Amino acid sequence: MNNGHIIELENVSKNYQRGPETVHAVKNVSLSVSSGEYVAVIGPSGSGKTTLMNIIGCLDHPSDGRVMINGREIQDENESGLTRLRQTSIGFVFQQFFLIPTLNVIENVTLPALFAGHKPNGRGRDLLEKVGLANRMHHLPGQLSGGEMQRVAIARSLVNAPPILLADEPTGNLDSKNAGMIMDLFGKLNADGVTVVMVTHNTDIVKRCNRTVHIEDGVIRQ
Amino acid sequence: MSFTKVAISNLRRNPVRSLLTGLSLAVSAATLSVVLSLDKGYTDAVTNDLVNKTGVHMYITKEGCPIEAASVIAQGGLSPLYVDESIVARLKKIPELDAVMPFKLFAVTTDDGTRTDIFMGITDAVGKIKPDWRYTAGGWFAAPDSVILGAEMARIENLDIGDRMYVEHFDAEFVISGILARNYGQDDGTFFMPLATAQALVGREGKLSAVALKLSDISAMDTVRNRIRASMPADYFVIGSRELSDGILQFFSSTRAIMFVMVGVAFLISVFGIVNTMLMAVLERRREIAYLKCVGAGKYDLIRLISLETAAIAVAGSAVGALIGMILSPVSGHLLRQFLVAYIPSGAIARPDPVIALAAFAVCTLIGMACSLYPALRAAKIVPMEVLRNE
Domain ranges of chain A: 36-62+77-220
Residue B340 has pLDDT above 70, yes or no: no
The residue among B362, B335, B361 whose CA lies nearest residue B348 is B335
Angle formed by the axes of helices A79-89 and B286-294, nearest 10°: 80
Binary contact (B295, A91; C-beta < 8 A):
yes
Distance in angstroms (rounded) separating the CA atoms of residues B346 and A92: 71
Same domain, B21 and B73: no
Q: Which CATH superfamily does the domain covering A36-62+77-220 fall into?
A: P-loop containing nucleotide triphosphate hydrolases (3.40.50.300)
Residue A28 has pLDDT above 80, yes or no: yes
Distance in angstroms (rounded) separating the CA atoms of residues B343 and B337: 9
A176 to A166, A202, A209, B32, B357: CA distances (angstroms):
21, 11, 18, 61, 61
Residue B71: pLDDT band with limits 50, 70, 90: low
Quick one: which H or E segment has residue A197?
strand A195-199
Answer yes or no: are the C-beta atoms of B321 and B363 closer than 8 Å: no
Residue B76, pLDDT score: 47
Residue B51, pLDDT score: 62
Residues of chain B neighbouring A45 (CB-CB closer than 8 A) = none
Q: Which of A102, A149, A159 should be substituted to probe chain B, the one whose Cβ sees the most B Cβ atoms within 10 Å?
A: A102
Domain boundary among B201, B234, B267: B234
Binary contact (B295, A112; C-beta < 8 A):
yes
Residue A217: pLDDT band with limits 50, 70, 90: confident
Answer yes or no: are the C-beta atoms of B201 and B105 closer than 8 Å: no
Residue A183 has pLDDT above 90, yes or no: no
Residue B278, pLDDT score: 79
Same domain, B198 and B308: no
Same domain, B44 and B70: no
Distance in angstroms (rounded) separating the CA atoms of residues B191 and B3: 67
The residue count of chain A comes to 222
Q: Provide the 3-class DSSP secondary structure of residue A71.
A: coil
Answer yes or no: are the C-beta atoms of B41 and B333 closer than 8 Å: yes
Q: Give the domain range for residue B345.
A: 3-49+251-390
The residue of chain A nearest to residue B383, with distances taken between CA atoms, is A59
Answer yes or no: are the C-beta atoms of A59 and B385 closer than 8 Å: yes
Q: Which value, in Å, is the radius of gyration of the alpha carbons in chain A? A: 17
Name the minimum distance, in Å, from the CA of B1 to any CA of chain A. 7
Name the minimum distance, in Å, from the CA of A95 to any CA of chain B. 10
b/e sequence A60-98, b meaning 16+ C-beta within 10 Å: bbbbebbbbbbebebeebeeeebbbbbbebbbbbbbbbb
The residue count of chain B comes to 391
Distance in angstroms (rounded) separating the CA atoms of residues B51 and B343: 14
A60/A163: higher pLDDT = A163
Distance in angstroms (rounded) separating the CA atoms of residues B82 and B63: 9
A35/B337: higher pLDDT = A35
Distance in angstroms (rounded) separating the CA atoms of residues B228 and B99: 14
A71/B146: higher pLDDT = B146
Same domain, B258 and B183: no
Distance in angstroms (rounded) separating the CA atoms of residues B272 and B257: 23
Same domain, B81 and B218: yes
Residue B137, in any domain of the structure: yes
Same domain, B219 and B295: no
Residue A221 has pLDDT above 50, yes or no: yes
Answer yes or no: are the C-beta atoms of B182 and B129 closer than 8 Å: no
Residue A222, pLDDT score: 63
Binary contact (A157, B287; C-beta < 8 A):
no
Q: Kindly report the average pLDDT of chain B as a whole number.
A: 82
Calculate mean pLDDT across residues B206-217: 86
Least confident of A5-19, B229-243, B297-311, B319-333: B229-243
Residue B43, in any domain of the structure: yes
Name the minimum distance, in Å, from the CA of B364 to any CA of chain A. 28
Residue A157, pLDDT score: 87
Question: In this structure, are strands B116-122 and B190-194 parallel, antiparallel, or unpaired?
Answer: parallel
Answer yes or no: are the C-beta atoms of B337 and B43 closer than 8 Å: no
Query: Tens of pLDDT along B245-287?
Result: 676 677 677 777 887 888 888 878 878 888 888 788 778 888 8
User: Which of B 282-301 lie inside 8 A of A, CB atoms?
Assistant: 287-288, 291-299, 301
Instruction: Collect all residues with Cβ–Cβ distance below 8 Å to A141 and sequence separation of at least 6.
Output: A97, A99, A100, A101, A103, A105, A108, A149, A152
Q: Kindly report the average pLDDT of chain A as a whole number.
A: 86
Three-state SS across chain B?
CCHHHHHHHHHCCCHHHHHHHHHHHHHHHHHHHHHHHHHHHHHHHHHHHHHHCCCCCEEEEECCCHHHHHHHHHHCCCCCCCEECCHHHHHHCCCCEEEEEEEEEEEEECCCCCCEEEEEEECCCHHHHCCCCCEEEECCCCCCCEEEECHHHHHHHCCCCCCEEEECCCCEEEEEEEEECCCCCHHHHEEEEEHHHHHHHCCCCCEECEEEEEECCHHHHHHHHHHHHHHCCCCEEEEEHHHHHHHHHHHHHHHHHHHHHHHHHHHHHHHHHHHHHHHHHHHHCHHHHHHHHHCCCCHHHHHHHHHHHHHHHHHHHHHHHHHHHHHHHHHHHHHHHCCCCCCCCCCCCCCCCHHHHHHHHHHHHHHHHHCCHHHHHHHHCCCHHHHHHHC
Same domain, B28 and B77: no
Q: Is A167 exposed, middle or buried (0-12, 13-18, 19+ CB in 10 A)?
A: buried
- Neighbour count for residue B108 (Cβ, 10 Å): 19
Percent of residues, chain A, with pLDDT higher than 70: 98
Assess B10–A contact: CB distance below 8 Å, yes or no: yes
Same domain, B168 and B304: no
Binary contact (A91, B293; C-beta < 8 A):
no
Distance in angstroms (rounded) separating the CA atoms of residues B203 and A110: 91
Domain boundary among B234, B267, B291: B234
Residue B143, pLDDT score: 93
This model of the complex carries an ipTM of: 0.81
**Number of structural domains found in chain B:** 2
Answer yes or no: are the C-beta atoms of A115 and A87 closer than 8 Å: yes
Calculate mean pLDDT across residues B215-241: 81
Assess A86–B contact: CB distance below 8 Å, yes or no: yes
Assess A79–B contact: CB distance below 8 Å, yes or no: yes
Assess B230–A contact: CB distance below 8 Å, yes or no: no
A17/B150: higher pLDDT = B150
CB pairs under 8 A between A and B: 76
B18 to A62, A88, B275, B315, B316: CA distances (angstroms):
41, 35, 12, 12, 10
Residue B246, in any domain of the structure: no
Residue B244, in any domain of the structure: no
Query: Tens of pLDDT along A127-147?
Result: 898 888 889 989 999 999 888
Query: Tens of pLDDT along B294-317?
Result: 888 888 888 898 889 888 988 999
Residues of chain A neighbouring B291 (CB-CB closer than 8 A) = 92, 94, 98
Q: For residue A86, give the nearest of B13, B296, B388 by CB distance.
A: B296
Q: Provide the 3-class DSSP secondary structure of residue A139.
A: coil
Residues of chain A neighbouring B18 (CB-CB closer than 8 A) = none
Answer yes or no: are the C-beta atoms of B361 and B322 closer than 8 Å: yes
Highest mean pLDDT among A184-188, B137-141, B348-352, B378-382: B137-141
Same domain, B352 and B204: no
Assess A222–B contact: CB distance below 8 Å, yes or no: no
B21 to B249, B310, B384: CA distances (angstroms):
36, 10, 28
Residue B372 has pLDDT above 80, yes or no: yes
Residue B242, in any domain of the structure: no
Same domain, B39 and B78: no
Residues of chain A neighbouring B390 (CB-CB closer than 8 A) = none
Q: What are phi and psi of A101, to 5 degrees?
A: -65, -25
